[in-house]
Amino acid sequence: MSQKLILSAACMMLLAACSSVSLQDDDKPRAGTPREACKVSNEQEIAALFTRWNQSLQTGNPRVVVDNYAERSVLLPTLSNKVRVTRAEKEDYFRHFLKDRPAGTINFRHIEIGCNSAVDVGLYTFTFAATGARVNARYTYTYAWNGQQWMITSHHSSALPEKP
The pLDDT tens digits of the residues spanning 124-152 come to: 999 999 999 999 999 999 999 999 999 99
137: β partners: 124, 159
Phi first, then psi, for residue 109 (nearest 5°) are: -150, 155
pTM: 0.78
CATH of the domain at 118: 3.10.450.50
The pLDDT tens digits of the residues spanning 34-82 come to: 567 999 999 999 999 999 999 999 999 999 999 999 999 999 999 999 9
Q: Which amino acid is at 46?
A: I
Q: How far apart are CA 124 and CA 159, in angstroms?
A: 9
DSSP string, 15-73: HHHHHS----GGGSPPTT-PPPPPPP--HHHHHHHHHHHHHHHHTT-HHHHHTTEEEEE
Q: For residue 77, is it within any domain?
A: yes
> What's the pLDDT score for residue 115?
98
Domains identified in the chain, total number: 1
Q: For residue 20, is it within any domain?
A: no
- Residue 99, SS3 per DSSP: helix
Q: For residue 117, is it within any domain?
A: yes
